[in-house]
Structure 1
Amino acid sequence: MSETDVVVSPAEIPGLVCTLVRLVAPQKVAVVTPELRLIGDLGFHSLALAELGFTIEDLFKLEALTPEVAMSLERVEDIVRLIGGHVEDGSITLPDTFEVNSICARYGASWPAKG
């Protein structure tokens, strides 16, 4: 981590998750909000869900999601709650801005998202 890279704060998790979902979502929308459904509103299918899961696991250094947990993630806010719960119980550490931007760069984007 360089001097200019700072750790993402817990308050930034919702915005970061919305950005990641927007980048991976098959159905492109201008703004992703927490109440949107992954499948119904954003067009996620099995491959896109797997890509999103791997992206989140990599960024937050999560253990692989169990099928039960993965199936419970219906809305963007469910992912936000999952990450927040792990932050609260100390089972993950938050990424720094370099790590976040490395993931976003895979999709031709940066974070925080611009316009």
Structure 2
Amino acid sequence: MLERDAESVKNEMFASELLQMFGLPYIIAPTEAKAQCAYMEMTNLVDGVVTDDSDVFLFGARNVYKNIFDDRKYVETYFVKVSVELERELGLDRDKLIRMALLLGSDYTEGVR
């Protein structure tokens, strides 16, 4: 276990060194990376969020790109207008989606049986 953790730290250090060498800006999220990415998009620091985890919408992401690192060679894109349609057609705004995720289960709760 300690070896695996040490290897992970080495890989992260190598990645940050590469980003610095190429002059690419990056940050290390203080807590949940999805929340940080969604915040950066909401404040217009980035154009979208790359993730395979759909609960990023619950953090407020508006433009999500999925399967970027998948071997299938296609990217799925999801935009905020989808959530506008959810609200219009089903009455589900972001707050209600968060409550639904808490009830049904998500990365943060087992949900209610």
After TM superposition, the score normalised by the length of structure 1 is 0.27
Structure number having the greater strand percentage: 2
- For the pair shown, the structure with the greater C-alpha radius of gyration is 2
Higher relative contact order (CA 8 A, sep 6+): 1
After TM superposition, the score normalised by the length of structure 2 is 0.27
